[in-house]
Amino acid sequence: MTDVMNKKKIGIVGGTFNPIHYGHLMIAESAREQYCLQEIRFLPSGHPPHKQHTMQASHRCNMVSLAIADNPFFILDRREVESQGISYTFLTVENLEKELPDAELYFILGGDSLFDFESWRKPEAILQHCSILAAYRKQERQEGFFQQIDLLNHKYPGKFFPLDTPSLEVSSQDIRKRVQSGRSIRYLVPREVEDYIRAHHLYKEAP
Ligand code: ATP
């Protein structure tokens, strides 16, 4: 049996990636560096329970693929977009653990998602299979953020870890709005993603 010290440490960044942007890439890179992760998997969600009318999965996957192409630690994992039905995180991590029994899994998320975590389906089941690395996004929320980490660790001991990351106030929603109104998205997304959005005329409709 592989002991804990020899387990491969794998990070998972789940999201709609509609589109992927530098905020996503930055939390992945910060997690890799701070927690010595050996691989980061980007998992675009297929049918997220909380977001309707999402851009078709093939475009979202293609943009992730372009954005991570130059980073050998980053991998696109299509399991959620290829599965039928709603993508629940607890099923995804259960599935990943079965497939990768010699890995230690870390689910990476933004600080805002940490506050929603307990409303996700079966949070305790998620934590059976992975730990959570939570990035904090805004200076002023740091105190509340650490209180939330403490509160969750009280309930689920040793499962939540803070992720120190440069704060990038970028969101997919903001990018969609900018494209729709003809504003620049340069330096918010990798150049290849920007070109892809333009070439495929994405986000022209009102978000
Ligand atoms: P939308 O604006 O469409 O709601 P989003 O930009 O929040 O999307 P998602 O794909 O829903 O992106 O997010 C995936 C994960 O990345 C979530 O855990 C979210 O908290 C995190 N995240 C998104 N943007 C940032 C950012 N700028 N900094 C840190 N984390 C982020």
pLDDT digits (tens, 9 = 90+) for 70-114: 999 999 999 999 988 888 999 999 999 999 999 999 999 998 889
pLDDT band at 12 (very low <50, low <70, confident <90, very high): very high
Closest CA to 41 of 10, 81, 85, 65: 10
Q: Which atom of ligand 1 is closest in space to residue 175's alpha carbon?
A: 2
pTM of the predicted model as reported, rounded to 2 decimal places: 0.92
Q: How far apart (Å, rounded) are the C-alpha atoms in residues 80 and 143?
A: 34
The average pLDDT across 177-204 equals 97
Distance CA 141, CA 129 (A): 28
Alpha-carbon gap, residue 123 to 114, rounded angstroms? 11
Higher pLDDT, 90 or 139: 90
**Which residue has its alpha carbon closest to ligand 1 atom 20?**
110
Residues forming beta bridges with residue 39, ordered by sequence position = 10
The finding on whether 145 has its CB within 6 A of some atom of ligand 1 is: no
Q: Which two tokens stand for residue 187?
A: 């330096």
The confidence band for 3, taking pLDDT boundaries of 50, 70 and 90, is low
Quote the ligand 1 centre to 169 CA distance (angstroms).
Answer: 10
Helix, strand, coil proportions of the chain in percent (round to 5)? 45, 20, 35
Q: Strand pairing partners for 103?
A: 8
Q: What is the pLDDT of residues 125-134, one digit of tens each?
A: 999 999 999 9
* CATH class for the region spanning 7-169: alpha beta
Candidate of 22, 25, 27 to mutate for ligand 1, largest count of ligand atoms within 8 Å of Cβ: 27
Rounded CA-CA distance 74/108 in Å is 13
Nearest-angstrom CA–CA distance, 15 and 55: 13
**Angle between helix 57-68 and helix 22-34 axes, rounded to 10 deg:** 50
Phi and psi angles of residue 45, each rounded to the nearest 5 degrees, phi first = -80, 145
Q: Would you call 123 helix, strand, or coil by DSSP?
A: helix
Ligand 1 within 6 A of 18 CB? yes
* Distance between CA atoms of residues 65 and 83, nearest Å: 19
**What pLDDT score does 76 carry?**
98
Q: Which atom of ligand 1 is nearest to the CA of 16?
A: 10
Q: How many CB atoms lie within 10 A of CB 143?
A: 8
> Using one digit for the tens of pLDDT, what is the confidence trace for 42-80?
999 986 555 555 678 999 999 999 999 999 999 999 999
- Within its chain, how far is the Cα of 24 from the centroid? 6
Among 20, 24, 188, the mutation site with the greatest number of ligand 1 atoms within 8 A of its Cβ is 24
- Whether 41 is in the pocket of ligand 1, judged by its Cβ within 6 Å, is no
Q: Whose CA is nearest to atom 7 of ligand 1?
A: 171
Residue 1 scores a pLDDT above 70: no
Residue with the nearest Cα to atom 25 of ligand 1?
A: 23
Contact 27 CB / ligand 1 (< 6 Å) = yes
Q: What is the C-alpha end-to-end distance of the chain, expressed in Å? A: 50
